Amino acid sequence: MTQPSGAGTATFSKSEMMIVAAARELAGQRVCFVGVGLPNIAVNLAQRTVAPDLELVYEAGVFGARPERLPLSIGDPTIVTGATAVVSMYELFSFYLQGGLVDVGFLGAAQIDRFGNINTTVIGPYDHPRTRLPGSGGACEIAINARQVFVIMRQSARSFVETIDFRTSPGNLGGAEQAARIRREGGWLGRGPSVVVTDLGIWHFDDDGEMRLDSLHPGATLDEIRATIGWQPRIAEDLQATAPPSPAELDLIRRELDPEGAYTK
Amino acid sequence: MSTSKVATMHDAVADLIRDGDTVAIEGFTHLISFAAGHEIIRQGKRDLTLARLTPDLIYDQMIAGGVARKLIFSWLGNPGVGGLGAIRRRIETGQPAPLEIEEYSHFGMVGRYTAGAANLPFYPIRSYFETDLPVANPLIREIESPYEDGKVYAVPPLKPDVAIVHAQRADAAGNTQVWGLLGCQKEAAFAAERVIVVVEELVDEAVTRADPNRTIIPGLIVEAVVVEPFGAHPSYVQGAYDRDNRFYLDWDAITRDEDSIQAWLREWVHDLDGRASYVEKLGAERVASLRPAGPAPSGSVNYGEYR
């Protein structure tokens, strides 16, 4: 699905743009809990570019992974060899995550609503689902205990919906005010979602706790944004244009991280 | 000197697993005892409750093999690849047979084993707030801290009848050593009534005693030690062999269709008599391709001698 973008010297796919934009968001972050799927390649790109000191936390029980190849999933022998620490899952979830040491939880999602609440459990009713999805894994506790949450997912009318079918991982609940109160009163460590990176643009959350499009990727249009979302989206007044992937970023993805195009097709 | 607990896979499964048992084959992407799962299918065990954080391909195979009536889990998928067709069909359509499910998050499952191992009535975690998980599974319950500082969620203890753990090595008494990802095998083993350990290598007691920090499961709680090299394939064993990703990718197609799964089970489980035949069928070339590119030994530490 590689398309000429016209915005840079190199051509790149929408997925490559999404991964690059997500990696750049990690600049300045210290400890990142890596979710399954797209977050895996985004954080590995970040570690090789904007965030060389990023400590990668994998729920399999690794703190400070230094993978030499892209891990095949969230468990892989390459995240063990050379890591800072390998611990039991009990320690990882209890001491590292619930203990408050994770700055960013990086998640994927099947469905998301305007307030960043996430569904990865079922499409349709829980007891008779049309599509059974993987479920929480560690996402539910990451969304509650990581200091902030980043989301990476492809945008479509089926995934960006007015009402999610099941709330697996809480975001800004019904809005910023309610979410702040519940998070404070409940003693949650996490402030909730702060960015959603898609194949079309970069969304942050405004004072109401609602997603706002702050940057449009090269080649994407506002019509496309509106056609792939189940509500009237908020668009920043000073909407930015995402810088296209650099040759170096593309080279890392294509040669080192995903030579077979598993994530970038 | 302890008595040897070394047994064949056939005997360990026949003697220690009963129809209707709750069985946990643990190991988080790493050290998954496919060999034990296949033997359970071959022996035609029935009505098992299968517990595991990530059912992975092994429970897809076992559920397709007709051994289970219920699944307890926290993440249902083919890691890094896609879905588990046999399980999904049973949940979505009830075909060819319904499957009862009981669903948690990873931390919830780890907490359940921990409570089971420590003989606690529940395990409290800061998760599940403002989600639909406690609605889907009423065993996840909100409780008030007895110290009046807020609410947490409780999960009930999970005490499997049998836990099966694959490991790099154990001695004949069952003292078991693991390195690499530790998952929650220790918690699952201590929570279980009976423990089967499956190892790449049987070592002398002097080897385990020379490095006691690496022993995650003591022989005290182990019923059987099965020596089954390559018994975790297509999952991996740190330092011994890599995940056979080709198989995980192939499974994506096999699992889409009930007939193709049954054909696979016939060829790779029912028509073989055990893991040695499986490895032989896999072929030396495939096996060699999964070895690590090179060694990465740990330094050794000095425990000291004290008299």
B5 contacts B213 by C-beta, under 8 angstroms: no
Please tell me whether residues B196 and B269 are part of one structural domain. Answer: yes
Instruction: Write out pLDDT tens, residues B89-131.
Output: 999 999 899 999 999 999 999 999 999 999 999 999 999 999 9
The pLDDT, as a whole number, for residue B3 is 86
CA torsion sign for A18, A19, A23, A24 is: negative
Does the pLDDT of residue A8 top 70, yes or no?
Answer: no
CA of B18 vs chain A CAs: smallest distance (Å)? 29
The predicted-structure confidence for B280-307, as pLDDT tens digits, reads as follows 999 999 999 999 999 999 999 999 999 9
pLDDT of residue A162: 97
Q: Distance from B219 to chain A by nearest Cα, in Å?
A: 20
- The yes-or-no answer on residue A162 being catalytic is no
Q: Which of A72, A89, A186 sits opposite B183 (nearest CB)?
A: A89
In a domain, B14, yes or no: yes
Return the percentage of chain B with pLDDT > 90, whole number.
Answer: 97
Phi, psi of B6 (to 5 degrees): -65, 130
In a domain, B229, yes or no: yes
Within a domain: B302: no
**Residue contacts between A and B (CB atoms, under 8 Å):** 169
Nearest Cα of chain A lies from the Cα of B288 at a distance, in angstroms, of 17
pLDDT digit string, tens, across residues B182-214: 999 999 999 999 999 999 999 999 999 999 999
Residue in A59, A141, A210, A249 annotated catalytic: A59
Range of the domain at B99: 9-106+158-289
Domain-located, residue B294? no
- CA diameter of chain A: 51
- Does residue B94 form part of some domain? yes
* Residues B180, B149 within the same domain: no
Q: Is the pLDDT of residue B224 over 50?
A: yes
Q: In this structure, are B73 and B190 located in the same domain?
A: yes
Distance from CA of A100 to the nearest CA of B (A): 11
Nearest CA in chain B to A98: B126
Same domain? B257 vs B182: yes
Chain A contacts of B148, Cβ < 8 Å? Answer: none
User: Do both B134 and B172 map to the same domain?
Assistant: no
Shared domain check, B130 and B91: no
What is the helix (H) or strand (E) element at residue B281, kind and residue range? helix B275-282
Topology of the domain comprising A14-257: Glutaconate Coenzyme A-transferase (3.40.1080)
Nearest chain A residue to B53 by CA distance is: A137
Residues A229 and A160 sit within 8 Å (Cβ to Cβ): yes
Instruction: State whether B137 and B165 are in the same domain.
Output: no
pLDDT at B2: 64
Task: Tell me what pLDDT residue A36 has.
Answer: 78
Q: Are residues B99 and B131 in the same domain?
A: no
pLDDT score recorded for residue A6: 44
In this structure, the answer to whether residues B282 and B182 fall within a common structural domain is yes
- The reply to whether B258 falls in a domain is yes
Number of domains, chain B: 2
- Residue B231: inside a domain: yes
Amino acid at B105: S
Residue A5 clears pLDDT 70, i.e. is over it: no
Average pLDDT (B140-149) is 94
Q: Using one digit for the tens of pLDDT, what is the confidence trace for B6-43? A: 999 999 999 999 999 999 999 999 999 999 999 999 99
Q: What is the DSSP letter of B4?
A: P
- For A94-127, the pLDDT digits (tens) are 999 999 999 999 999 999 999 999 999 999 999 9
The verdict on residue B3 lying in a domain is no
Residue from A33, A59, A68, A73 whose CB has the most chain B CBs within 10 Å, to mutate: A73
> What is the value of pTM for the model shown?
0.96
Do B24 and B125 fall into the same domain? no
Structure tokens at B172: 């004949």
Taking the C-alpha atoms of residue B91 and residue A124, their distance in angstroms, rounded to an integer, is 12
The structure tokens 């896999």 sit at B282
My answer on whether B41 and B136 are in the same domain is no
A141 touches chain B (CB under 8 A): yes
Q: What is the CATH number of the domain that holds B172?
A: 3.40.1080.10
Domain shared by B198 and B95, yes or no: yes
Q: Is pLDDT above 80 for A4?
A: no
In B4-63, the residues whose Cβ lies within 8 Å of chain A are 28-30, 53-54
